[in-house]
Each structure stands twice: as structure tokens, then as C-alpha cells.
Amino acid sequence: MTPLIQHRGLVVPFDRVNVDTDAIIPKQFLKSIRRTGFGQNLFDEWRYLDHGEPGQACEQRPLNPDFILNQPRYQGASILLTRANFGCGSSREHAPWALEQYGFRVMIAPSFADIFFHNSFKNGLLPIVLEDEQIDRLFEAATQIEPLHLTIDLEQQRITSDAHAVSIAFEIDPFRKFCLLNGLDDIALTLQRQALIQAFEHNHLKRFPWLLNTL
């Protein structure tokens, strides 16, 4: 997992409430047994005018010109600004995979669905919860003539933009912060204890050698 210490990126104002995981990555794409390639199908039913299927090349598919991610000014956006209860619905981990593989690294909203919120951290995404008033101010800035670029400083827990006079502090669980700063997912965290695990297994089998017969 790539560490996240400070991130500067273009903001896309995704002005929708209750965006569920089936909208983020539709159910037909869950058939894939790979963990890659989901970025092109993020918000598939909103981004394209036809029906998408796993393995289908998206380069020639007709785009929905009214969908915000297809607008030229938001190409390359890496910060998703959205509304309440983002990521509700089923607990599919493919949703944060699709967001991360599209290019998003930070999401800002007044609230996130609980399972999606925790899955995001585990996949290198930073979901930031702010007050409704702060969200409204960011939406106002993001919809001006000049695009909004924000700097997210995870170490200082602050969102800034000199051009738009933005300076907002945010809260984050210390353990989640540590994992993102160091690029540690659950597997990497476990491997930090690899020597202790191996020592335990060695001593355990010495005490109970008959376990070898069941392995």
C-alpha cells in the first residue's frame, strides 16, 4: 500500500447523497476474480450510456456527457467531495478498489457508511468526515470558475488551499493514521510480527509435535 503523508489534488464536487456501493461498482463486475482493473468501471451505469460487462474494453463505449467525471475540467481529479452516507448498501470491497484504481486518494463527506469507511482505510484511501457547513463551503469553492485544488496534510490533519482561503482541521483515528502514513494494510501489519509468529509456531510444535501429523 502506498503511504499517504501529504496529498495535493483536484477536487470533483460529487453532489449526491446516499451513493451506494452498487452505484460505485455495479454488481456484474463482482464476478471478476482479479483485484485489479475496476477503475474503468467506477460509477459505470452513470459514466456510460450502454451496459457494461466484466472484461469489456471501455475505450469505445459511449460516455454520458452529463456525468461529472466525464467533464473536461475534472479529468485527473484525485479528491472526491461528496454528501452524506457515501458508500451505503452492500459491503463489497470492490467499491474502494474501484475508487482507488480510478485515481482517487481522498474522499471528503459529512458521513460514510460504516463498512465502506473501514474498507477504505484498509485499501489506502483517506475518508475525511467534516461538518455539513464545512462541506457546503468546499462545494461552493469547487464549483467556481477556477477548479479547486486541495492539499491534504495527514501528519498535521489539515486541509488547505491558499487560492481559495481554505484551512480546515480534521479528525482521524490514530491507528488508521499510522497505517496510512506508513503504507500498512492488514497483511503488512501482520508481517511486522513475522519473527514472533515464526518463533511461536516453532516452540508450539516442539511442545506438541503430534500436530505435525495433522498438517
Are the C-beta atoms of residues 155 and 181 closer than 8 Å to each other? Answer: yes
Contacts of 128 (CB under 8 A, 6+ apart): 106, 107, 108, 109, 152, 159, 170, 172
Average pLDDT, integer, range 171-183: 96
Query: What kind and span of H or E run contains 100?
Result: helix 94-102
CATH class name, domain 6-184: alpha beta
Confidence at 215, pLDDT banded by 50, 70, 90: low
pLDDT of residue 196: 78
Query: CA geometry: angle at 123 spanning 61 and 184, to 5°?
Result: 145
Cell reading at 122: 484498509
Question: Is a pLDDT exceeding 60 seen at residue 170?
Answer: yes
Confidence at 214, pLDDT banded by 50, 70, 90: low
Chain CA centroid to CA 99, Å: 5
Are the C-beta atoms of residues 21 and 95 closer than 8 Å to each other? Answer: yes
CA distance linking residue 74 with residue 10, whole number of Å = 7
CA distance linking residue 149 with residue 166, whole number of Å = 10
Question: Is a pLDDT exceeding 90 seen at residue 61?
Answer: yes
